[in-house]
Structure 1
Amino acid sequence: MAAARRRRDTMRRRWKAFSKGLHEFYIGPYRQTFLREKRDEDDMFMIAVLGEALGVPDPAAYYTAELMPAVWEDFHDWHRRIGIPRSPLDHIACC
């Protein structure tokens, strides 16, 4: 019984290592692409949520207003990343 358990554990470890290797083989070369695409989507989300505050007319401002607290933490990194050295909003002084 102990030998069977050891074999099962060994096979489980090997399968896990094989699975990790396959994941790295298929995902590894595209990791930077996926991260860049996620960053671009996050930037578009920030613009959609903060559009009204930035002076862009936003027909969905009523719905995006409740999402503002979710983006405050990332606001400073976002405006620096898109090339704005100081906070573009008068009521948010993060710099």
Structure 2
Amino acid sequence: MAAVDRTQRREEASRRWAAVRDGLHEFYVGPYRQTMLRERRDEDDLFMIAVLGEALGVPDPAAYYSAELLPAVWQDFHAWHRRIGIPDSPLDHIACC
């Protein structure tokens, strides 16, 4: 009987500590969530421009190496060009719209 009571108290204490931990995480991380998402989006945009630079007409001395990354960006290409304000695909050989 005492072992069951101890187990229940441990579980209750564990749940309370988890709630405190989650609350503190939200308190400290919450205000910066939008900033971090915006920075990640900006980094993704820069990466997309670096990979697609040659196709967009920007001379790229590392085009041979960035061509290997093209399959990684194809699925996000449509959302990217719409987000930066280009209504139709800027590439002649890719018609995603």
The normalised TM-score by structure 1 is: 0.95
Gaps spanning 5+ residues in structure 1: where?
Answer: none
Q: Which residue of 2 aligns with 1:22?
A: 24
Gaps spanning 5+ residues in structure 2: where?
Answer: none
Which structure has the larger Rg? 2
What per-residue deviation string (whole Å, max 9, x for no partner) do you get for residues 29-84 of structure 1? 11111111110010001001111111111122121111111111110110011111
Cα distance in 2, alignment partners of residues 41 and 80 from structure 1: 16
Superposition CA RMSD, Å: 0.9
* Fraction of identical pairs, as percent: 76
The normalised TM-score by structure 2 is: 0.93
TM-superposed deviation, 1:8? 1.2
Match of 1:10 among 6, 9, 12: 12
Report the residue type matching 2:81 in the other structure. H
Moved over 6 A (4+): none
Equivalenced residue count is: 95
